[in-house]
Structure 1
Amino acid sequence: MQAVKNGDKVRVHYHGRLTNGTTFDSSEGRDPLEFEVGAGMVIKGFDNGVVDMKVGEKKTLNIPVEEAYGPKNDELIMDFPKENIPADLNPQVGMELQMSNPQGQVFPVKVAAISTEFITLDANHPLAGEPLVFDIELVEIV
């Protein structure tokens, strides 16, 4: 039976969770995830984890921070003056907002803290700094 190698297009079912067991994503009830192995379409640990799998095989991947979304980057946490916030916006800690950079690119941020003068915004990926666990099943090598 054929084993997955870099360059193969594969389809997998997955259940992603944090190390405390909290689910953050799953393909349950959806079509399997399809991607090209080694093309950087998924995080490095997931990409590497499917190599050598055979159709129908199941496994659990324990992905360290460095092979997931990387460590939190303090440069992506910024204090934004409250006076620059639209008057009709009532930010709350945990709220997700959209910002744009000077080039017009839009990116998501999360309200991390609120003080009297500033709103602290975090532009890190929500899973940055987290080791991840994936239960995967190789459905098909396309």
Structure 2
Amino acid sequence: MKISNDKVVSIEYTLKNADGQIIDTSVGNAPLEYIHGRGYLISGLEKDLEGKSEGEEFTSEIEPKDAYGEFDESMVVEVDRKQFPEGIEIEEGMQFEAEYGQLVTVKSVTKDKITIDANHPLAGVKLFFDVKVVSVRDASPEELSTGLYGGCGGCGCDGDCSGGDCSSGGCGCGCDC
């Protein structure tokens, strides 16, 4: 069966940058499973998976525009230190969730100012994937309706989206269901 829209696809992957440094991998863990054509993957990788079959292995080069976008200098801003709660030690490299669930990275800290970057950490980075298609199957009507894990909290983690703690469209447990 070939990968096309509304198929449940399971892949093993290793993600590297241009220097060959491993950024992420599913090797040694469970394969990544998703419903094809629903925007669960970066667009460049999903496009390269289209038409592949179970057992196929390939390497994919993804340009920033087809991954996490180009680096946007306007998303690097300097803010007053007093905008952060007192007593919290802010350090360069820290990441935290800002308003509306956006991840920001602290770039520099002075006595009075903190420079933060709201770009995705992989914005502007060309990505290299080594991929093996583990399985391809038709999605069930329920999976197409609610997602692979039954929607929020359906992954078995016992999370829920009550109380407004759902920041990524998931249940808040970090499993991205």
The two structures share one fold, judged by TM-score above 0.5: yes
The runs of at least 4 aligned residues of structure 1 exceeding 4 Å deviation read none
Q: Show structure 1 runs of 5+ residues with no match.
A: none
Q: How does 1:70-89 map to 2 (within 5 A)?
A: 70-89=69-88
Q: 1:75, CA displacement in angstroms?
A: 2.9
Letter of the 1:64 counterpart: E
Aligned residue in 1 for 2:147: none
How many residues align? The count is 137
1:138 aligns with 2:133: yes
Task: Give deviations 1:13-39, integer Å, cap 9, x for gaps.
Answer: 000111111111111122111112221
- Structure with higher RCO (Cα < 8 A, 6+ apart): 1
Task: Give deviations 1:25-76, integer Å, cap 9, x for gaps.
Answer: 1111221111122211100111011112111110000101111101012232
Q: Show structure 2 runs of 5+ residues with no match.
A: 138-177
Aligned residue in 1 for 2:112: 117
**How far apart in 1 are the matches of 2:93 and 2:73?**
17
Letter of the 1:96 counterpart: Q
Letter of the 1:136 counterpart: V
Quick check: which one's helix share is greater?
2
Task: Give deviations 1:89-122, integer Å, cap 9, x for gaps.
Answer: 221211112322xxxx233211012234310111
Q: What is the TM-score normalised by the length of structure 1?
A: 0.89
Q: How does 1:49-88 map to 2 (within 5 A)?
A: 49-88=48-87
**How far apart in 1 are the matches of 2:134 and 2:34?**
12
**How far apart in 2 are the matches of 1:7 and 1:86?**
45
Aligned residue in 2 for 1:46: 45
Tell me, what secondary structure is at the counterpart of 1:130? coil
Q: How big is the alpha-carbon RMSD for the aligned residues of Structure 1 and Structure 2?
A: 1.4
**How far apart in 2 are the matches of 1:74 and 1:61?**
27
Aligned residue in 1 for 2:91: 92
1:27 aligns with 2:22: no
Aligned residue in 2 for 1:37: 36
